């Protein structure tokens, strides 16, 4: 502690330090590519000339712990940038570096002796500028494969359509390396266990191969570049992937699987002091299973192994086996090892080692949730909730995951605590397909579960109504790559609604609302698809869901006219995040619609049940409005009614959000962040029967009825969770009694809406 290295925080007065490092990309390049290239070049800068800048609302900026200025660090950064440009196909860049020194004197406030005093300061600030002309980017021309082993050549040509190398695309060493990895993976998946990347070599055309030689003399490089420019106006490169001379015949030998040995319950510690009473050796599906205990049934282990004795070695089967056991939850870690068999030179023996996780655990969580009852639960909860959960990872000795959750929460609104909710749920998740029909492609999936769920909930909407609900569902969850699916072929929900006298009087004034606020039974199906893709600085998330109730049972007249709800409903959500060096730009678009078509007395249902309907407002939606207090359309019905209850539900919802997020700094180890955001959206009904004119959705005017809000907020980032304080203003309110189409109408500083949330809204 006395002699260890420390990071200097304060430098001597007048000592030059790096105040800013700027990179400007010049040339005939599209602006989007210039931006990406600027970010890549900035990442190539030496750490000693990078500056850490905190920004407050994008206006006030402060340099934190600036590095000492040294020209040697500039030269080192130049070399790094040239290497970075070479790696993406720019082999003739011109980089000019300059720096400016500025003396700054003045006084600043400092906290001393329990008060703020003005202290003089003298700083020598250095601004470094790099002007980069990358030149013309080298692109691929002809691409070929020339492997001496006929079987490998055939595999390479068969997969040519999936090649990462394309004529006319920018040359990149990274792409070449990724193409070699792709070929090696194909060979490994076809039995060539010992074939590696070192067995391949990339041959480039003579002129360009000499040009990209890092040891090339600058004058020779200029001559070759001139020759290349005379040869073609746009520089290109020919690439051929060849096989190195075979020195070991095992590298081009196809391997098959021999014995498979499984250890299902090894201790996670290397030194095991536990007493083992017996070692049980059993056989299942030609696998030898050596168990130290009776924790797992042999068939459960064998059913999740994709590597089979006697079959061709495939790397994908080994990876799928590892991923399968790691995702099941009953095991903490899984490893696979292959060794040459003594029985044959082309046979591999496999050993699978499994390390069990702790069987049971009890956990508590504090959360803010938005639950619209789309999948499991029935209630609606915004605000703070407390969860108590018990998890068993190995029920019935079959790696079956069971989870029991108790949850209680409060919803915050105009009455402070406007809703109280309590629920209990129990989920049984089987790590296999349980169905009356076989699925041929089950083994191609990364994960697969059959899920049985039970849920009971109680919701007390203060002074208005209470609901008791029960939900059970049977379905399947599976994933492949970055896509995940959920399908519940059977979903049963029953909701019992008890209304207070004041709420009943309110419903009596709007008779059609009785169609939505009533006890009801839902029997139908649900489907959800989601995908997550990351490319560069962009991350895209897509979610599509749909559900229906009463499609078949509603054909029975007594059920249709009874408590059974008949409807179809779907929504789609798209999010994109763009991550810059220190800031982030987030977009979200959402659209949902539902249609109730069952019979109600002598007529038909005119709206979705309230626990399936759409609503807007709150910390995760339109933040300028309180929860469920936006809508419907441009109707002023609720404003005229003047009722204390203003909960609003609709059959259609459109919403879009954009948020710019930036850091503020760190206080006592807590990261302070902020954001500027704009929300736009509204909800509608399918006709005017519920709340009258302006509440129905129409394509010729819906865009005129979009509400708009904007605001900012403070976020406390504790790494494992984030607390959000948002303040938003209504910029345009289509339900305003006076001038509904006017922007910023009668807006005052005190008219903002405060929202408390946990986690990002999207």
Give mean pLDDT, residues 531-560: 90
Give mean pLDDT, residues 111-117: 66
Alpha helices for 554-652 (secondary structure H)? 557-560, 637-641
Q: What is the band of 713 on the pLDDT scale with cuts at 50, 70, 90?
A: very high
pLDDT score at 332: 92
Assign 242 to helix, strand or coil: strand
pLDDT score at 376: 29
pLDDT score at 213: 57
Beta-ladder partners of 105: 122
| pLDDT over 80 at 407, yes or no | yes
Q: 57-72 pLDDT, tens per residue?
A: 445 566 767 788 888 8
DSSP 464-510: TEEEEEEEEEEEEEEEETTEEEEEEEEEEEEEEEEE-HHHHHHHHHS
Helix axes of 31-44 and 71-87: crossing angle, nearest 10 degrees? 130
Give mean pLDDT, residues 147-156: 94
Give mean pLDDT, residues 84-113: 81
pLDDT score at 378: 36
Q: What is the band of 369 on the pLDDT scale with cuts at 50, 70, 90?
A: very low
Give mean pLDDT, residues 661-686: 89
Please state whether beta strands 236-243 and 200-204 pair in parallel, antiparallel, or not at all (unpaired): antiparallel
Give mean pLDDT, residues 450-471: 90
All residues at 6 or more sequence positions from 456 whose CB lies less than 8 Å from its CB, including other chains: 423, 424, 425, 468, 469, 470, 471
| pLDDT over 60 at 373, yes or no | no
pLDDT score at 671: 86
526 versus 28: which is more confidently predicted? 526
pLDDT score at 462: 79
Q: 182-194 pLDDT, tens per residue?
A: 999 999 999 999 9
Query: Look-up: residue for tokens 């040294």?
Result: 70
Query: Look-up: residue for tokens 């008779």?
Result: 511
pLDDT score at 139: 84
- Percent of the chain residues topping a pLDDT of 90: 37
| pLDDT over 50 at 272, yes or no | no
| pLDDT over 60 at 196, yes or no | yes
Mean pLDDT of the chain, nearest integer: 83
pLDDT score at 208: 53
- Percent of the chain residues topping a pLDDT of 70: 83
pLDDT score at 172: 84
How many other CB atoms are found less than 10 A from the CB of residue 735? 23
Q: 331-362 pLDDT, tens per residue?
A: 999 999 999 998 888 999 999 999 999 999 99
| pLDDT over 70 at 397, yes or no | yes
Q: 217-243 pLDDT, tens per residue?
A: 666 666 666 666 655 566 778 889 999
Distance of alpha carbon 662 from the chain centroid: 19
Tell which residue, 324, 294, 290, has the closest CA to residue 306.
324
Q: What is the band of 310 on the pLDDT scale with cuts at 50, 70, 90?
A: very high
Q: Where are the beta strands (DSSP E) in 113-180?
A: 115-133, 139-146
Give mean pLDDT, residues 453-481: 90
Assign 17 to helix, strand or coil: strand
How many other CB atoms are found less than 10 A from the CB of residue 677? 19
| pLDDT over 90 at 141, yes or no | no
Q: 116-140 pLDDT, tens per residue?
A: 677 777 788 888 899 999 888 888 8
| pLDDT over 80 at 608, yes or no | yes
Alpha helices for 126-269 (secondary structure H)? 150-158, 173-188, 206-211, 218-231
Q: 728-752 pLDDT, tens per residue?
A: 999 998 887 677 677 777 777 778 8
Q: What is the band of 9 on the pLDDT scale with cuts at 50, 70, 90?
A: very low
Give mean pLDDT, residues 398-425: 84
H-run or E-run covering 394 = strand 384-395
Q: How far apart are CA 627 and CA 382, in angstroms?
A: 8
| pLDDT over 60 at 619, yes or no | yes
Both tokens of residue 245?
A: 């001379």
| pLDDT over 60 at 10, yes or no | no
481 and 527 in contact (C-beta within 8 Å)?
no
Q: What is the band of 35 on the pLDDT scale with cuts at 50, 70, 90?
A: confident
**pTM of the predicted model as reported, rounded to 2 decimal places:** 0.74
pLDDT score at 506: 74
| pLDDT over 50 at 455, yes or no | yes
| pLDDT over 80 at 565, yes or no | yes
Residue 444 has, within 13 A of its CA and on its CB side, a CA count of 3
pLDDT score at 318: 94
Please state whether beta strands 94-112 and 603-604 pair in parallel, antiparallel, or not at all (unpaired): unpaired
pLDDT score at 365: 79
pLDDT score at 471: 92
Q: How far apart are CA 219 and CA 217, in angstroms?
A: 6
Q: 623-645 pLDDT, tens per residue?
A: 999 888 887 888 887 776 555 45
Question: 449-453, 549-553, 586-590: which range is least confident on average?
Answer: 549-553
Of 11-20, 35-44, 363-372, 402-411, where does the model show the most confidence?
402-411
Q: What is the band of 2 on the pLDDT scale with cuts at 50, 70, 90?
A: very low
């Amino acid at each position: 502690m006395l002699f260890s290295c420390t990071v200097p925080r304060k430098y001597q007065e007048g000592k030059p330090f790096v105040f800013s490092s700027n990179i400007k990309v010049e040339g005939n390049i599209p602006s989007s590519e210039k931006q990406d290239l600027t970010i890549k070049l900035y990442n190539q800068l030496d750490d000693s000339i990078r500056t850490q800048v905190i920004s407050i609302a994008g206006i006030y900026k402060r340099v934190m712990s600036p590095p000492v200025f040294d020209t040697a660090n500039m030269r080192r950064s130049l070399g790094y940038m040239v290497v970075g440009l070479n790696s993406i196909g720019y082999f003739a860049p011109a980089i000019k570096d300059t720096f400016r020194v500025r003396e700054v004197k003045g006084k600043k406030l400092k906290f001393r002796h329990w008060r703020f005093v003005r202290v003089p300061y003298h700083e020598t600030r250095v601004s470094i500028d790099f002007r980069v002309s990358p030149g013309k980017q080298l692109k691929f021309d002809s691409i070929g494969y020339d492997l001496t082993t006929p079987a490998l050549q055939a595999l390479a040509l068969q997969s040519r359509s999936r090649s990462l190398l394309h004529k006319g695309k920018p040359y990149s060493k990274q792409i070449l390396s990724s193409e070699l990895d792709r070929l090696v993976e194909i060979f490994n998946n076809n039995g060539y266990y010992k074939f590696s990347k070192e067995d391949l070599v990339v041959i480039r055309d003579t002129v360009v191969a000499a040009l990209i030689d890092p040891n090339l003399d600058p004058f020779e490089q200029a001559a070759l570049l001139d020759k290349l420019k005379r040869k073609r106006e746009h520089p290109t490169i020919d690439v051929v992937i060849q096989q190195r001379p075979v020195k070991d015949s095992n590298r081009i030998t196809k391997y098959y699987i021999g014995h498979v040995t499984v250890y299902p319950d090894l201790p996670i510690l290397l030194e095991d002091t536990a007493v083992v009473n017996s070692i049980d050796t059993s056989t299942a599906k030609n696998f030898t299973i050596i168990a130290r205990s009776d924790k797992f049934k042999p068939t459960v282990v064998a059913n999740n192994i994709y590597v089979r004795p006697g079959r061709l070695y495939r790397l994908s089967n080994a990876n799928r086996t590892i991923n399968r056991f790691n995702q099941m939850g009953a095991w903490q870690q899984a490893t696979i090892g292959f060794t040459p068999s003594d029985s044959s030179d082309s046979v591999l023996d496999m050993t699978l080692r499994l390390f069990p996780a702790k069987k049971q655990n009890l956990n508590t969580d504090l959360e803010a949730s938005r639950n619209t009852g789309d999948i499991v639960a029935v209630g609606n909860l915004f605000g703070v909730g407390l969860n108590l959960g018990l998890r068993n990872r190995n029920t019935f000795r079959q790696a079956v995951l069971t989870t029991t959750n108790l949850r209680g929460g409060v919803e915050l609104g105009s009455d402070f605590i406007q809703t109280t909710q309590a629920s209990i749920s129990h989920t049984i998740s089987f790590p296999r397909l349980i169905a009356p029909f076989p699925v041929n492609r089950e083994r191609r999936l990364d994960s697969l579960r059959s899920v049985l769920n039970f849920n009971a909930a109680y919701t007390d909407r203060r002074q208005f109504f209470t609901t008791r609900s029960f939900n059970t569902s049977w379905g399947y969850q599976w994933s492949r790559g970055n896509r995940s699916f959920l399908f519940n072929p059977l979903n049963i929900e029953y909701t019992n609604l008890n209304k207070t006298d004041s709420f009943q009087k309110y419903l009596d004034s709007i008779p059609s609302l009785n169609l939505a606020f009533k006890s009801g039974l839902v029997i139908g199906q649900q489907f959800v698809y989601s995908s997550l893709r990351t490319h560069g600085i962009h991350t895209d998330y897509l979610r599509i869901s749909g559900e229906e109730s009463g499609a078949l049972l509603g054909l029975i007249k007594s059920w249709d006219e009874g408590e059974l709800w008949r409807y179809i409903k779907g929504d789609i959500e798209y999010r994109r995040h763009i991550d810059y060096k220190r800031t982030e730009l987030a977009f979200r678009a959402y659209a949902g619609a539902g249609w109730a078509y069952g019979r109600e007395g002598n007529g038909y249902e005119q709206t979705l049940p309230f626990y399936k309907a759409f609503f807007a407002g709150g910390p995760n939606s339109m933040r300028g409005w309180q929860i469920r207090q936006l809508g419907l359309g441009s109707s002023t019905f609720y404003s005229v009614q003047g009722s204390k209850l203003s909960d609003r539900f609709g059959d259609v919802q459109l919403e879009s959000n954009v948020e710019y997020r930036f850091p503020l700094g760190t206080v006592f180890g807590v990261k302070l962040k902020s954001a500027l955001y704009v929300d736009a959206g509204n909800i509608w009904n399918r006709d005017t029967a519920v709340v009258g004119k302006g509440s129905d959705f129409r394509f010729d005017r819906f865009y005129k009825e979009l509400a708009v809000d904007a605001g900012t907020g403070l976020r406390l980032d504790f790494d494992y969770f984030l607390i959000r304080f948002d303040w938003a203003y209504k910029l345009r309110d289509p339900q305003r009694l006076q001038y509904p189409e006017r922007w910023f109408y009668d807006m005052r500083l005190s008219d903002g809406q405060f929202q408390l949330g946990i986690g990002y809204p999207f």
